[in-house]
Amino acid sequence: MRKDLAELFTSRAFWLLLLFVGLLTGQSFISAVDAYAEASGIGGGAAALAQGLSPLDGILVPTAGAYDLAIMLLFPFVAIRLIASEKSSGAWKLMLQWPVKMRDHLLSKFVALLVAWLIALVPFAIAIALWLSYGGHLDARETLNLLFGYTLRYVLTASVAVAAAALMPGAANAAVVVLGLTIGTWALDFLAAGRGGFVQKLASFTPAATVRMFERGLLRLDAVLILLLLSLLAFAIAGIALDPLRKRISVSIAILAVAIALATQVRTSFDVSENRRNSFPAADERVLASIREPLTITVFLAAEDPRMNDYENNVLLKLRRAMPRLHVRYPYSGQSALFENDDRYGEIHYRIGAKTAVNRSTTEEIVLETIDTLAGVERRPLPAAESSEYPGYPLAKHPAGAAWIFYLVWPVVVITAWRLRTRRTG
């Protein structure tokens, strides 16, 4: 393990990554705090509705966006180097003869990559500390959930990079594979929007899609399991590729593939957002859970239609959590229906048993009323009463001192540490 940590700290890619992560995080944080202050009325203008000012959306997610970029474009090179350098220098042939199991070799690399991630999170920790020092509010569960989501995404990306470096000859080929896979998941994410079925299910587990869930304060057990299992699968593939005497598909890979398939069926999720944005009011959820018959919804909207996006994120996401027996159909799946001459376009059909209802609303209240009527259940009080409990956290403060810390102190610290490290090994 000491070897891989030493290799990490002598890697120029790692120090450059730290430098850029600090600058990117600083830029994201400063912009976010400024925008938040404006929305809170710092310039003397009218403040936005206080309830709409959530530090999760306004500060944490934009700041963490810097890590999104770093995970996709910078971290893979650090992970690839840990393997590719040993392969190309001949060190790996010596290591294969050490009395060390392949599992332990890979575990050591995993720990080194985890240490790299924890060190790279220092700028994010600084941003949080600054925000709190300005008097800003943070919800611990939301914050930890977001960090957990990004960590899972990082672990998957690093694992895929390790597998690519193990499989491919040369670091450049491995980098092309990792970036190609990233672009592939983007394409899948884009194509699957509002299409339903297997493709949409598959796309809901892309790294970008799962991080979006964490960004809105949702902890989905299936996504956690799948990201972890995929990471384990990538490491298993790396283990097979790096061991010259085990070139066949092993039992462990087959077991992992089955486990991944099973994990897609897990439906448990937790709404850890402070404003419960992923849930209907508790009274509504109890009523929805009491409906025994399956609900079928047919959405006559194209994927590109903004109403589809509203309906998917503000209604269906909550309904899927509240009603296990929900089936959603997308008749315009796989086609752009914006220019089709179909009278039903814009309609949303609901069916419970033999009863059906049709409307065009994508708002939560109307949808819930429609479902109540179809199911013949008692009307619930208006959800506005519960949703108004979230107070919102306006803060009209400039990001004092942040530019100095992120644009001057951080680069100086990183470059100094880098030079000290180089002097020790040089």
Partner 1 sequence: MSDVLRVSRLSARRGGREILRDVAFTVREDEILGVIGPNGAGKTTLFECVAGVLPRTSGTIDGAPLFYVPDGIRPWPDQTVRWTLALNARMFATQVEPSLLDALDLTRLLDQITASLSKGEAKRLGIALGLLVPRAVIFLDEPFDGLDFRQTRHAIDVLRNAKRTLVLSIHQLSDAVRVCDRFLLLDNGRVAGEGTLEELGGNLEEFFLA
Instruction: Rank residues 167 and 409 by Cβ distance to partner 1 and give the closer one.
Output: 167
Under DSSP, the state recorded for 383 is T
Copy the structure tokens of residue 84: 């590719």
300, HSE (Cβ side, Cα atoms, 13 Å): 16
Instruction: Rank residues 247 and 292 by Cβ distance to partner 1 and give the closer one.
Output: 247
Gap between the Cα atoms of 207 and 39, Å rounded: 30
Which residues lie near partner 1 (CB under 8 A)?
3, 6-7, 10-11, 85-86, 89-91, 93-94, 96-100, 244-245, 247, 425-426
Minimum distance between the CB of residue 68 and partner 1, rounded to whole angstroms?
29
Map tokens 């089709």 to a residue.
Answer: 340
Minimum distance between the CB of residue 322 and partner 1, rounded to whole angstroms?
55
Are 351 and 296 a contacting pair, CB within 8 Å? yes
DSSP 195-211: T-HHHHHHHTTSHHHHH
Minimum distance between the CB of residue 312 and partner 1, rounded to whole angstroms?
49
Residue 125's region, left for phi above 0, alpha for psi from -120 to 50, else beta, is alpha
CA angle 79, 82, 87 (to 5 degrees): 125
Instruction: Rank residues 96 and 323 by Cβ distance to partner 1 and give the closer one.
Output: 96
Amino acid 179 reads L
Minimum distance between the CB of residue 108 and partner 1, rounded to whole angstroms?
12
Cβ neighbors of 385 (< 8 A, separation 6 or more) are 281
Instruction: Rank residues 90 and 135 by Cβ distance to partner 1 and give the closer one.
Output: 90
Minimum distance between the CB of residue 10 and partner 1, rounded to whole angstroms?
4
Minimum distance between the CB of residue 248 and partner 1, rounded to whole angstroms?
11
Instruction: Rank residues 34 and 243 by Cβ distance to partner 1 and give the closer one.
Output: 243
Minimum distance between the CB of residue 86 and partner 1, rounded to whole angstroms?
7
DSSP 211-275: HHHHHTTEEEHHHHHHHHHHHHHHHHHHHHHH-TT--SPPHHHHHHHHHHHHHTT---EEE--TT
Minimum distance between the CB of residue 282 and partner 1, rounded to whole angstroms?
57
Instruction: Rank residues 9 and 350 by Cβ distance to partner 1 and give the closer one.
Output: 9
**In the 3-class helix/strand/coil scheme, how is 140-158 assigned residue by residue?**
HHHHHHHHHHHHHHHHHHH
- What are the φ/ψ torsions at residue 271 (nearest 5 degrees)? -90, 105
Copy the structure tokens of residue 191: 């194509």
Instruction: Rank residues 100 and 254 by Cβ distance to partner 1 and give the closer one.
Output: 100
Instruction: Rank residues 27 and 85 by Cβ distance to partner 1 and give the closer one.
Output: 85
